[in-house]
Structure 1
């Protein structure tokens, strides 16, 4: 994967999407910014781009990934790869369904994935050095460069969905004390059950991560 570093960008994901459309880059390709001024979070919310934090987006073709990954749960897959990297560094970070990074009960980052034709475009942000009000910071000291290159190495391993999901299932137990947003509604995960494909069963309805 080719990796490009920028001092500042409005949004790594929007930059990547535009470059793809214009034929300026091709997958696999990653964009990393040291500062991000107009980042996009889940549900279209802004993601505050404070200096020293991780802001990255990458594109990868579907056929470069393990074929057993359930497409609606691709954000879970990418997020769990980063969680594995963080765990190897000694972090207590866990993944709240479907794609939010937490330390204890504070959100420290998240993942947002889109698909254009057969290409996945994933944006990821993690608070390494500072955080806005009511958010947390990663519980270990590391650098943007270290996380980026270790994540690329983890992605290159092409780990199958099953071992990734077995670890995510453990994290999901912690999600039960939180809410998530489904169809713009805040919904408790207390009674939710996790399915093998990363979806949840909630009030008899199967719900997938759609971001």
Structure 2
């Protein structure tokens, strides 16, 4: 995978999506920024990019993704791969359905996915060294370079969704004290039932990550 390093950018996700659309970049490709000042979060929210934290986006041709991965659940898939990297380095990070990284009760990062023509674009923000008020940071010291090298090596393995899901569902109960967002409302995860395709059933409604 080609990796582009930037000093400052508004959003690695925006930067990559725009250049894929213009065919200035071709998948697979990744963009990593030292500083990001207008990061894109879920549901159009911004992600505050404090210096020293990790901000990157990457794209993969949809045809190269595991054939059992439902695109609507790709944020779970890519988030869990990073969660595995951090866990391998001693972190107690866990993944709140469907795309938020937590240490204890505090969010430390998140994932967002989009489709651009024939590519899936994934953006990840993670608080490594500092965090805004109301958030926290990673509980172990690990360099950006180490995280990225390990993460992209995991991506190369093209691990099947079934394998990732079998691990993720073991910690899904941790999400039940929180809320997620459906199409038009906030959804309690307390009585949500996780499905094999990564969606949940809540109050009779099937909800995918939608991001």
Band the TM-score falls in, shorter-chain normalisation: over 0.9
1:131 aligns with 2:131: yes
Shift of 1:184: 4.0
**What is the aligned partner in structure 2 of residue 90 from structure 1?**
90
Q: Aligned equivalents of 2:201 and 2:7: distance in 1?
A: 43
Q: Secondary structure at the match of 1:166?
A: helix
1:5 aligns with 2:43: no
Paired positions, count? 211
In structure 2, runs of 5+ residues without a counterpart are none
**What is the aligned partner in structure 1 of residue 120 from structure 2?**
120
Q: Aligned equivalents of 1:178 and 1:171: distance in 2?
A: 13
Shift of 1:70: 1.2
Q: Aligned equivalents of 1:137 and 1:170: distance in 2?
A: 24
Check whether the contact 2:187–2:202 (CA below 8 A) recurs between aligned residues.
Answer: no
Q: Aligned equivalents of 1:19 and 1:206: distance in 2?
A: 34
Q: Aligned equivalents of 2:81 and 2:194: distance in 1?
A: 19
User: What is the root-mean-square deviation of aligned Cα atoms in Å?
Assistant: 0.8
Q: Aligned equivalents of 2:17 and 2:183: distance in 1?
A: 25
Q: Aligned equivalents of 1:43 and 1:171: distance in 2?
A: 24
**What is the aligned partner in structure 2 of residue 50 from structure 1?**
50
TM-score scaled by structure 1?
Answer: 0.98
Q: Aligned equivalents of 1:184 and 1:126: distance in 2?
A: 27
In structure 1, runs of 5+ residues without a counterpart are none
TM-score scaled by structure 2?
Answer: 0.98
Runs of 4+ deviating beyond 3 Å: none
